[in-house]
Amino acid sequence: MQLDAQLDMTLPSASSETAVGRSRLQAFDRILGRAIEIPAAILVGLEIVVLLAGVVSRYVLHQPLVWSDELAAILFLWLAMLGTVIAYRRGEHMRMTAFVGMASPPTRAFLDTLATVSGLVLVGLLLEPAVEFAIEESWVHTPALDLANTWRATALPVGFALMLVTAVVRLVQESDWRLTGAALLLGACIAAGLAVLSPTLIGMGNLNLLVFFLLGVGALVFSGVPIAFAFGLSTYAYLMTTTHAPAMVVVGRMDEGMSHLILLSVPLFIFLGLLIEMTGMARAMVGFLASLLGHVRGGLHFVLVGAMYLVSGISGSKAADMAAVAPVLFPEMKARGAKEGDLVALLSATGAQTETIPPSIVLITIGSVTGVSITALFTGGLLPGLVLGVTLCALVWWRYRHEDLSHVARPSRTAILKALAVAIPALALPFVIRAAVVEGVATATEVSTIGIVYAVLAGLLVYRQFDWRRLVPMLVTTATLSGAILLIIGAATGMAWALTQSGFSQALAVAMKSLPGGPLGFLAVSALAFIVLGSVLEGIPAIVLFGPLLFPIARAVGVHEVHYAMVVILAMGIGLFAPPFGVGYYAACAISRIHPDVGMRPIVGYIVALLVGLAAIILVPWFSIGFL
């Protein structure tokens, strides 16, 4: 009886202590989150101010700020790393979840824990090398500001340390300790196995690339590990097991990949995409197109294709484009009897169709990793997107040629002109962005700031729609998505470097040059390869990983680099937005709030239409280079 009484007294005490500990951990997590998100939002704002000041001082005052690019580069790496931490904390790093979703609940819980543990292991392995790298960078000084490069490079170890803390907090809060232990034990067993097999793997020569970068990356990606972590872990394992390269090389290559000056425009175009939705500019463009075509058969489907084309000329983010267009059009399209499956299928297809419309983030990424002119890519990307839009519209016309529109009133000419007048400021923005680059007012990096100022003024003065309360969340969202994208670019750059150093790029060049059919055969094989890569790795990782390897080969076989860029981007886009593996398709479903299953059958026709358009781009180079 006395023992029972003691148990009754101790159990509530233990339970209350556990509850207090959990409450304190949650409070710490909230404080940590705000401590990261607020500086990240400030850094996005500072990037906009610094780059805009560079444009104004050079073009208006004719007194260039020679230090602006240096300061922007320092701030940018800090923004990228803090954004990476936020994305990790929110679980927003890009990962393939097709197989995870099909797993049983216990298996799914283990795979989700494995995804978190993979990040913990990677940053744990890279933290010390990152500190060494930051110290080594103290010998390098910026030419204008005369600052040690350590000020910039310190962002790497700080970001890794914050990710390490975040991983521990998440695992304690959300995961069963047995699952965490099992994931860590699995990692330890793999590491021990690689250490034991190291002599054998070295003796295999370049065949060991299949072990690390085909089997290794494939197993990690398909098990739901974020793509950036899969790349980073496989590269680290390859270098540590089969070479004498120090771990600091991985950090150095990641820094190189994330620090290209042209990538500064990535967060700014993401923010611009959020702005056009918030200020009502996207709604104005869609409203004008609807007044113009809404009364014809399949008219609102044509409007969806056209609206995605126009909005993509402002934003650089496909998710932002779809989020701006779908909520405006889908309610009316459903009211007219359109099926949900067809709506989400067409939205996904337009995501693939508009991948080449400037200022696409993929175009910017290709320019940064291959050295192709951004201005040439921006010019060459307009017509290929239009060609694929025509093939999609042809299918829409066929499917809806018997649509009953007897209940739909045709708007008057006055109503159309009024909608046009309202939409003109929004319709002008893509032309303002392109003209600023072509006329030399701003570089491709800086032009996004002109678009941001234009959108803010339009929202405040023209559309009178500017919710100041959404500004900070939008800045944080910008940092989060930018961090997820840039970590992938950094990890893929490290992996591409490892493949190049192994001699794989030379072997690939020989194999691709010997393909039958000459340039046409090379383009066809590249298109098929990037459809698969886009489906499995998403677009940017595939571009960063294979762009530096394949673009020199394209030039060697006589394919124009801009033409080749359009082919691989569109092929990658088709893979990205095609189920069952394409992550873009599931993003379209999430934005539309439509179950993925209902769009599986309707999207087949749209994928075929996209493939027809891609074949036309391959066969007719003029579509890509005719206006260069």
- pLDDT-derived band at 75, boundaries 50, 70, 90: very high
Beta carbons of 576 and 352 less than 8 angstroms apart? yes
Q: Mean per-residue pLDDT for 351-357? A: 87
Measured CA to CA in angstroms, residue 318 lies from 65, 401, 627 at distances of 33, 29, 25
Instruction: Evaluate the CA torsion angle 351, 354, 358, 363 in order and state its sign.
Output: positive
Beta carbons of 219 and 118 less than 8 angstroms apart? no
Measured CA to CA in angstroms, residue 182 lies from 122, 176, 227, 479 at distances of 17, 10, 21, 33
**Residue 163: pLDDT above 90?**
yes
Closest CA to 551 of 487, 610, 496, 612: 496
pLDDT at 16: 64
For residues 209 and 216, give the distance between their C-alpha atoms in angstroms, rounded to a whole number.
Answer: 9
Closest CA to 407 of 325, 294, 326: 294
DSSP three-state, residue 459: helix
pLDDT at 292: 80
Number of CB atoms found within 10 A of residue 440's CB: 10
pLDDT at 405: 66
pTM comes to 0.83
- pLDDT-derived band at 285, boundaries 50, 70, 90: confident
What is the rounded (10 degree) CA torsion for 50, 56, 57, 59?
Answer: 140
For residues 539 and 3, give the distance between their C-alpha atoms in angstroms, rounded to a whole number.
Answer: 64
Percent of the chain with pLDDT over 90: 26
Mean pLDDT of the chain: 85
**Residue 497: pLDDT above 90?**
no
Query: Could you tell me the end-to-end alpha-carbon distance of the chain, in angstroms, rounded to an integer?
Result: 91
For residues 611 and 574, give the distance between their C-alpha atoms in angstroms, rounded to a whole number.
Answer: 8
pLDDT tens digits along 512-557: 777 787 889 899 999 998 888 887 766 677 788 788 888 888 988 8
pLDDT at 159: 95
Closest CA to 512 of 524, 500, 497, 522: 522
374 backbone φψ class: left, alpha, beta (φ>0; ψ -120 to 50): alpha
Beta carbons of 480 and 90 less than 8 angstroms apart? yes
For residues 569 and 574, give the distance between their C-alpha atoms in angstroms, rounded to a whole number.
Answer: 9
pLDDT at 568: 92
3-class SS letters over 234-268: HHHHHHHHHCCCCCHHHHHHHHHHHCCHHHHHHHH
For residues 202 and 207, give the distance between their C-alpha atoms in angstroms, rounded to a whole number.
Answer: 9
pLDDT at 15: 58
User: Phi then psi for 92, rounded to 5 degrees?
Assistant: -110, 15
Q: Mean per-residue pLDDT for 427-446? A: 77
Report the Cα 170 to chain-centroid distance in Å.
24
Q: Mean per-residue pLDDT for 203-230? A: 87
Please report how the helices 583-592 and 561-576 are oriented relative to each other, as an axis angle in degrees rounded to 10: 60
Tokens in use for 302? 């044509």
Q: Mean per-residue pLDDT for 576-600? A: 79
**Residue 135: pLDDT above 90?**
yes
Amino acid type, 400: Y
- pLDDT-derived band at 208, boundaries 50, 70, 90: confident
pLDDT tens digits along 179-189: 889 999 999 99
Tokens in use for 564? 């080749």
Please report how the helices 68-90 and 248-258 are oriented relative to each other, as an axis angle in degrees rounded to 10: 110
Partners of residue 141 on adjacent β-strands: 148
- Look at 549 and 332; give whichever has higher pLDDT: 549
Q: Within the chain, what is the greatest distance between any pair of CA atoms?
A: 92
pLDDT at 625: 92
**Tokens 């995501």 label which residue?**
351
Q: Mean per-residue pLDDT for 364-369? A: 84
Out of 22-26, 117-121, 280-284, 529-533, least confident range? 22-26
DSSP 501-542: HTTHHHHHHHHHHT-TTHHHHHHHHHHHHHHHHHHHH-HHHH
**Residue 316: pLDDT above 70?**
no
**Residue 431: pLDDT above 90?**
no
DSSP 134-174: HHHGGG-B-TTT--BTHHHHTHHHHHHHHHHHHHHHHHHHH
Beta carbons of 360 and 381 less than 8 angstroms apart? yes
